[in-house]
Structure 1
Amino acid sequence: MSDEEGLHLFSRPAWNMAWWKAFGSGKRLRVYAGYEGDELIGVWPFCIRKGSLKDLRGTIAETLSGRSSDYGLPAVRSGQEETFVGAVADNILFEARGSVLDFPHLPLGHPATSALARALKAAGAQIHERRSICPRLEFKGDYASTERCWKKSLRTDLRRQKRRLEEAGRLGLHVPERKEEVLALLPLFFRMHSARWREKGFNMKFLDGNETGFYRALAEGLAEGFDNNRLHFSVLSCGSEVISMHFGFVSNGWLLWYTPAYNPAFERHSPGKVHIGMLVERGLSEGLKGIDFLQGDEPYKLQWSTGKVETVSYTCSSGPSMRLKWLASTRPWLVSKFGRLLMRQGPAPQAAV
Structure 2
Amino acid sequence: MIREDELRQGPRAAQRLDVSAVGSLSALAGMRAEWDSLLDSSHAGPFNSWEWLYPWCRRIEPGRRPLVLTARDAAGTLVGLLPLGLETRRVTGARVRRLGFLGETHVGSDYLDVVARRGAEREVAGAFARMLVALREEWDVLDLTDLREDSVTVDVLRAAFSGQDVRLSERYVCPYDVLDPREPFDAFLKRTGRRDNYLRRRKWLEKQDGYRIERTEAPGELAGPMTDFFRLHSARWAEDGGSQGIKGTGVESFHRDATQLLAERGRLRLYTMKVGGRAVASVYGIVHGDRFVYFQSGYDPEWRNRSVGLVLVGETFKDAMEAGLTEYDFLRGTETYKSDWVSKQRRTVSVRVHSGTRAGAWFTRAEELARKGRNAAKQVMPGTWVEKVRRFRRRRAAVD
> Which band: TM-score by shorter chain?
0.7 to 0.9
Matched residues in 1 for 2:205 and 2:287: separation? 27
In 2 relative to 1, CA 107–243 (structure 1 residues): closer, same or farther, beyond 3 Å? same
Cα deviation for residue 166 of structure 1 reads 3.3
Please identify, of 211-220 and 96-105, the stretch whose mean Cα deviation from structure 2 is larger: 96-105
Query: 2:186 is matched with which residue: 127, 140, 144?
Result: 144
Q: What is aligned with 1:110?
A: 151
- The residue correspondences of 1:72-221 to structure 2 (distance < 5 A) are 72-92=112-132, 94-95=135-136, 99-120=140-161, 122=162, 124-140=164-180, 141-151=183-193, 154-202=194-242, 206=246, 208-221=248-261
Sequence identity percentage: 23
CA drift at 1:177: 2.6
CA distance in 1, matches of 2:375, 2:296: 21
| 1:61 has 2:99 as partner | yes
Q: Does 1:46 align with 2:87?
A: no
Q: Which residue of 2 aligns with 1:271?
A: 308
Give TM-score, length-normalised by structure 2: 0.76
Which amino acid is the alignment partner of residue 144 of structure 2?
Answer: F
Task: Give the stretch that moved more between structures: 134-143 or 275-284.
Answer: 134-143
Q: Is the 8 A contact 1:183 1:219 kept in 2?
A: no
Q: Secondary structure at the match of 2:68?
A: strand
- Stretch of structure 1 that moved more, 3-12 or 332-341: 332-341
Aligned residue number for residue 3 of structure 2: none
Q: What's 2:22 paired with?
A: none
> In the alignment, which residue of structure 1 is the partner of 2:323?
286
108-117 vs 91-100, which moves further: 91-100
- Provide the residue aligned with 2:110 in structure 1: 70
Query: Alignment partner of 1:321: what SS?
Result: helix
Q: Which has the larger radius of gyration?
A: 2
Hey, what's the Cα distance between the residues in 1 that align with 2:93 and 2:84? 18
Match of 1:318? 355
Give distance in 2, aligned partners of 1:130 and 1:79.
Answer: 26
Q: How much does 1:351 deviate?
A: 7.5
Equivalent pair of 1:6/1:252 in contact (CA under 8 Å): no
User: In structure 1, how many angstroms separate the alpha carbons of the residues matched to 2:167 and 2:367?
Assistant: 12
Distance 1:236 1:297 in 2: 24
TM-score by length of 1: 0.85
Residue type matched to 2:147 in 1?
L
Residues 98-156 of structure 1: CA distance to partner in whole angstroms, max 9, x if unpaired?
Answer: 63322122123233333233324x262331421432111322312122112213xx222
Unaligned 5+ segments in structure 1 are: none
Q: Return the alpha-carbon distance in structure 1 between the equivalents of residues 244 and 120 of structure 2.
A: 42
Q: Which has the higher contact order (CA 8 A, sep 6+)?
A: 1
Taking the aligned partners of 1:5 and 1:263, their CA distance within structure 2 comes to 37
Tell me, yes or no, if structure 1 residue 245 matches structure 2 residue 282: yes
How many residue pairs were aligned? 346
Cα gap change, 1:349/1:16 in structure 2, threshold over 3 Å: closer, same or farther? closer
After superposition, the C-alpha distances for 1:39-86 in whole angstroms (9 at most, x for unaligned) are 322111211223477999744321110153111122112333333323
In 1, the alpha carbon distance for the partners of 2:375 and 2:285 equals 27
Q: 1:193 offset after TM fit, Å?
A: 1.5
Taking a change above 3 Å as real, the CA distance of residues 218 and 337 of structure 1, as seen in their structure-2 partners, is: farther
Structure 2 gaps, min length 5: 1-33, 379-385
**Are 2:174 and 2:331, in contact at CA under 8 Å, matched by a contact in 1?**
yes
